[in-house]
Amino acid sequence: MNRRNFLKAAGSSLILPMLPGVMSLAQAAGVPLTLTQRVLAYVGLYGGPDLRHLCPPVITLSTDTQSYAYEFWKARARSFGIATANQNLAGFANHFATHYVAVNLPGTSTPAGFGIFKEADWLIAMWNAGYVAFVCNAVGATSRDHAHAQLVLDHGDLTSTAMDRLKPGWGGKLVELIGGTSRLAALTNAPKPFCFGPLNGDPKNHQNSRVISVKNSRKMQLAEFRAAEQVGKEKWSNNVLARALRSYYSAYNPSEAHYKVFKDHETKMRNFGNQLYARLGDEQTGNIPVPDGIRQLYTAPAAGATDYRLNSTYFGGQIRNLHDVIASADILGLRVAAMEYGSWDTHQGQEAGLAKNFSDLFGAAGGFGQLYANLAPTAKDNLVITLAGEFGRQLASNGDNGTDHGRGGMVIIIGNHVKGGVYGEMFPASELAPTNKFVSKWGDDTVGLTSFEPIFGAVADWVAGGSTGNSIFPNRSSAIIESGVTLNTLFV
Amino acid sequence: MKKLTLALAVSIGLVGCGGGGGGNSVELKQPTVAWDAPITPSAELPMVDGVTWDETAVRKVLHVFAFGGFASDAQIKTWADMAPNEAIVEMLTLDGYNPKLSPTIDADVLNSTDRSFLGLAGLWSGSSSPLAANRRDSFKIDSWAGPQNIAMLASSTPGVNPFPHRLAIWELNYHLVANRDADVSPEHLSTYYNAVQKSLAAHDPYQNTMAIAAGSVAIAQQYKHYRNFYDVDKNGVGTFKGNEDFAREYHQLFFGILGTSRANDLLNNYHEVITIKNTAQMLTDMTVAKDGDLELTFGTKRHHVDDLEIMHTQISGATAKDKILALAQIDIAHPESLDNLPVMIVSGLANDNLSDANITELRNYWKSMVKKDILQFIRAYAISTQFHSPNRIKYWNPAERNVLYANLTTLNQTEAYWNYYDPNGISDWEDGYSQFRPEHNVFGHTTGQETAQSGDKFLLQFNRGASAWRFSRTTDSNNASWFKNWGSIAPKDVDGKYPVEAVAEWLWQRYMADGLKHFGPLERLQLYAILGTGVDAAVACSADQANPNYDKIYSVAEATSDAAAISCRNTLAAKFMDLDPAGTDKNKRNTANARVGYAIHFMTALPYALVQEGR
């Protein structure tokens, strides 16, 4: 198996429309959305995702039992949920065949050596089209502490400590450097540190002038007195208070940052809330209704159905928000959209948990599959999706059908301008070294060979142009990078 | 700790049904209350001076640590007139009852319980409950939202000491987290809450409280280490089977130890490969023996009985419980814990803007405490110069602000029991903040900082401000004897009248606790208009009352200097409110009380209600 740099030039945007699965998705779209400027959709996979579970090595009945692949499956059998009696070559091969699709290197008939989780069918289509990059052995914090490592991930700064909760994030820095009217839309319950913008003269603090909270893109309007609609009700208490508050905030201009944050919210919500409503309207009856396929991601099952479409309706709501901010990109100055998907800390019962996560994120009926079904070619050409967690998981299963923390992880970058392939060793040979065997008592870990900085730096360069990433990640040029990996060709 | 002999032991001589659900007759006694001796000022954490320690300072402490509390204005003044180290031992106590902070006010059936979490649950869900019959089941400890309902009502009922609940709610949502969404049953969560609170009330060393938490069913359910075993085969070879999730988080989340800053923890990856791996083996054979058990069974058969090297120390103990307690004594003294734990506590409860100097003081004080007593620590912090510094910034999380506003609006138990201000429901259904279902799982719930950063959370609060019904309720057709009676506590002039200006200033101080620092011309103009006329300044101050300009915006300059605006403000300030509860015109009384409610709506949507400055 070739475990090194499966880089192939297969990023042609002409391939995707010719793929049957993707074609049907595109045809199913309602009103395709466009984008005229490049946009980053960042998804924090908080909890330490085991992305090796997404794309394990191919194993068949003919696989050599001395091979890496066999050792891998043997060590991980429990986390794949394979019963003890089936923890043998036949059992491993059967599990792989049942749950994974072996893929080729993009645009070729050369086996890639690994498979992708079957229910991640949108991701498989995108991989086959050459639009997916797996950057392996990515590392940020060397500690395996979630909170600290998440700060490092969101800041894109390996020097961040566990106490640096107020530092700016790399998303916030990115829109600040783009400048003009560019903004970051935080599509989550609350903006994550990734979103925080830099504060001049204080590297440990931030400001959010370019951040817009879009927790629910269809409910962003402040209470307001509209005279024409309220004739005869002008002195009703709700109208009185709406006017009093509007008047107050209009005049209010504090200098202290801890008060100014609320003044800024009021200004943005009043401004953008009304504009978005004018553009979008109600979910089902507005100018741009939420497409049915997306609405089903976060709403209760239809009559007669029992299961929600997604395991995480919270993520489904973020996909609605992403759809809507793309539809309103000109209003918002959208350049970065910040999202999150949790539930990756799979110390127990990994198989069932991750299957749901992968389906939510990567299934054709899942979040991004449904979003892409509603994007016009210009939107697909101008969008890059970056998914990353704070660290990975140890290679060997633990005794509870899960995996424990490991340093190295994987970053997934998806987009029509991404040069698809594997960057770095997907299955490092070093992990087979006798002193670090899966079964060893100590030293269970996954290696971290490529720092977040050059990876995210390449993404920032593409979104903003030039070498913007150098300003966001000042240590980029000296950061560690796996031997043989070249990230400046990540985009075509 | 030494107790002063100021015990209050008043039997009110009532006999009735016990509220514990069992219907036993018990004597209703006012609990005995004893106050601790004044705390000794510390050089490590300097105490605020007597000038700064005023009524505003007292209110700030109550807002942060007691969800506002229910102390009367007179009691607050009394505390302000005392030395801070004397006052604080009366303000912040961990017993179920604190008659100064949370006086009973009305006839009190709470005396039939010990006012512990489980005691309150028994009363409120039982046959003698003061709650409406259709609400009682939701206060059973095994009802789906039982723990949340109990904790929130305990935090917002006059007669119950809110501080122990403020602390326990923080512990279980931010520090020693057990998540209801992680298979932790309501019964186990309730038991856990009670155990933690009981340990805190007993003044256990803080590490022992954490050891109790670590040995709970709730935490075992959270991390699933109840499935961890250490088995020895016939050849004497031991094998660990389990996960190392809690093995890491016990050190990290409970004690603040990452194992990343000390050379001996980093050498050969010691923290990862020795401390965490061996802690995982320590957490073995701690099982839920049978369904319904509320305590773990600690066995020896499948436990790593031999000593384990953890944190460079041989940890001994026959069972996991013994070893957990032994390890707690080591962890609490670890340099990283000594550095991080006090910062975690203070940043979690009271300050989103800790400076390096603040942190140094906190660490030094914590280190100086021979016994890590969290009550002593919080008291010392609450009267410290850094707590009362203008640089301290505390953003309220959704539950903090909702309970705070509700408590400041609640005038008696009736209003709490009838759930007029519903801080629990607002937090849960509107803000999406459910107690014991933290946003970030074991890493904690939505923080104040996150709340402040969220435009959506602001939007909710703003729109609640403009939705005038909740705080302006004045009567209840289902509770005919009740009416809102702000006149019972609002300031009166010498003639017994309620001047708008005085009421406005009093309200501002009650809700904002800033000594009127931010009650400027703009704020006064709107608040006077609402209180004095029931409409906003644009209407109240319009020269053309028949056709006012509803879009009129008063600038700060105009509100400050414009003659017409000043004249209007002065006119409004001099008006009187019909708040007299003995007044003959009930409609006027109700209108006046409703206007107070509108004023509260207005104030709670302002920035000053969303964040507290230390001074």
Q: Which residue is closest to A343 within chain B, CA to CA?
A: B441
Q: Which residue is closest to B556 within chain A, CA to CA?
A: A251
Instruction: Output the average pLDDT for chain A.
Output: 90
Residue A276 is encoded by which pair of tokens?
């978005």
- Reported as a pLDDT band with limits 50, 70 and 90, residue B268 is confident
Distance in angstroms (rounded) separating the CA atoms of residues B612 and B60? 8
Q: Is B561 on the interface with A (CB under 8 A)?
A: no
Q: Which residue is closest to B523 within chain A, CA to CA?
A: A248
Distance in angstroms (rounded) separating the CA atoms of residues B256 and B328? 12
pLDDT-wise least confident of A9-13, B166-170, B571-575, B608-612? A9-13
pLDDT-wise least confident of B9-18, B267-276, B433-442? B9-18
**Which residues of chain B lie closer than 8 angstroms to A238, CB-CB?**
466-468
pLDDT digits (tens, 9 = 90+) for B99-156: 999 998 776 778 888 899 999 999 999 999 999 999 999 999 999 999 999 999 999 9
Give the closest of A145, A163, A247 to B553, CB-based. Answer: A247
Q: What is the mean pLDDT of residues B602-608?
A: 98
| Greatest mean pLDDT range, A298-302, A440-444, B209-213 | B209-213
- Minimal C-alpha gap between A492 and chain B (Å): 36
Q: What is the mean pLDDT of residues B221-229?
A: 96
Q: What is the mean pLDDT of residues B236-253?
A: 95
pTM of the model: 0.93
Q: What is the mean pLDDT of residues A265-282?
A: 96
Q: What is the 3-state secondary structure (H, E, C) of B559-584?
A: HHHCHHHHHHHHHHHCCEECCCCCCC
Q: Residue B29: which residues within 8 A CB-CB, separation 6 or more?
A: B9, B10, B11, B12, B111
Partner-chain contact B465 A245, CB within 8 Å? yes
Q: What is the pLDDT of residue A30?
A: 56
Judge whether residue B455 has pLDDT over 90. Answer: yes
Residue B166 is encoded by which pair of tokens?
């403020």
Q: What is the mean pLDDT of residues A419-425?
A: 97
Q: Is B30 on the interface with A (CB under 8 A)?
A: no
- Reported as a pLDDT band with limits 50, 70 and 90, residue B545 is very high
Residue A261 is encoded by which pair of tokens?
């944050």
Question: DSSP per residue over A153-176, as a string?
Answer: HHHT-TT--TT-TTSPPHHHHHHH
Q: Is B416 on the interface with A (CB under 8 A)?
A: no
Q: Which residue is closest to B257 within chain A, CA to CA?
A: A145
Q: What is the pLDDT of residue B468?
A: 87
Give B 452-491 residues with CB within 8 A of chain A.
Answer: 452-459, 462-463, 465-469, 472
pLDDT-wise least confident of A399-408, A435-444, B594-603? A435-444
**Which residues of chain B lie closer than 8 angstroms to A205, CB-CB?**
none
- Minimal C-alpha gap between A239 and chain B (Å): 7
Q: Which residue is closest to A242 within chain B, CA to CA?
A: B466
- Reported as a pLDDT band with limits 50, 70 and 90, residue B410 is very high
Q: How many cross-chain Cβ pairs, A to B, lie less than 8 Å apart? A: 211
Partner-chain contact A258 B441, CB within 8 Å? no
Q: Which residue is closest to A146 within chain B, CA to CA?
A: B443
pLDDT-wise least confident of A16-25, A79-88, A160-169, A245-254? A16-25
Give the closest of B462, B529, B553 to A266, CB-based. Answer: B462
Partner-chain contact A240 B598, CB within 8 Å? yes
In chain A, % helix, strand, coil (3-state, to 5) comes to 35, 15, 50
**Of B447, B409, B396, the residue nearest B613 (C-alpha):** B396
Partner-chain contact B258 A165, CB within 8 Å? no
Residue B439 is encoded by which pair of tokens?
């946003």
**Which residues of chain B lie closer than 8 angstroms to A443, CB-CB?**
269, 273
pLDDT digits (tens, 9 = 90+) for B33-87: 899 999 999 999 999 999 999 999 999 999 999 999 999 999 999 999 999 999 9
Q: Is B343 on the interface with A (CB under 8 A)?
A: yes
- Reported as a pLDDT band with limits 50, 70 and 90, residue B269 is confident
Judge whether residue A431 has pLDDT over 80. Answer: no
Give B 239-298 residues with CB within 8 A of chain A.
Answer: 240-245, 248, 252, 258-260, 269, 272-274, 277
pLDDT digits (tens, 9 = 90+) for A463-487: 999 999 999 999 999 999 999 999 9
**Which residues of chain A lie closer than 8 angstroms to B530, CB-CB?**
240-241, 244
pLDDT-wise least confident of A395-399, B173-177, B215-219, B580-584? A395-399
Residue A87 is encoded by which pair of tokens?
């923890």
Judge whether residue A25 has pLDDT over 80. Answer: no
pLDDT digits (tens, 9 = 90+) for B334-374: 999 999 999 999 999 999 999 999 999 999 999 999 999 99
Q: What is the mean pLDDT of residues A274-284?
A: 94
Q: What is the mean pLDDT of residues A395-407?
A: 89
Is the Cβ–Cβ distance between B181 and B432 less than 8 Å? no
Q: What is the pLDDT of residue B18?
A: 30
**Which residues of chain B lie closer than 8 angstroms to A240, CB-CB?**
468, 530, 534-536, 539, 598
- Reported as a pLDDT band with limits 50, 70 and 90, residue A53 is very high
Q: What is the pLDDT of residue A407?
A: 87
Judge whether residue B4 has pLDDT over 60. Answer: no
- Minimal C-alpha gap between B36 and chain A (Å): 35
Backbone torsion region of residue B286, taken as left when φ is above 0, otherwise alpha when ψ lies between -120 and 50, otherwise beta: beta
- Minimal C-alpha gap between A71 and chain B (Å): 20
Q: What is the mean pLDDT of residues A374-387?
A: 97
* Neighbour-count burial of A241, counting CB atoms closer than 10 A to its CB (0-12 exposed, 13-18 middle, 19+ buried): buried
Q: What is the 3-state secondary structure (H, E, C) of B89-136?
A: HHHCCCCCCCCCCCCCCCCCCHHHCCCCHHHHHHHHHCCCCCCCHHHH
Give B 514-553 residues with CB within 8 A of chain A.
Answer: 522-523, 526, 529-530, 534-539, 550-553
Distance in angstroms (rounded) separating the CA atoms of residues B8 and A278? 64
Give the closest of A163, A263, A441 to B607, CB-based. Answer: A263
Q: What is the mean pLDDT of residues A139-160?
A: 93
Q: What is the pLDDT of residue A201?
A: 83
Partner-chain contact A191 B553, CB within 8 Å? no
Is the Cβ–Cβ distance between B221 and B286 less than 8 Å? no
Instruction: Output the average pLDDT for chain B.
Output: 93
Distance in angstroms (rounded) separating the CA atoms of residues B286 and B279? 13
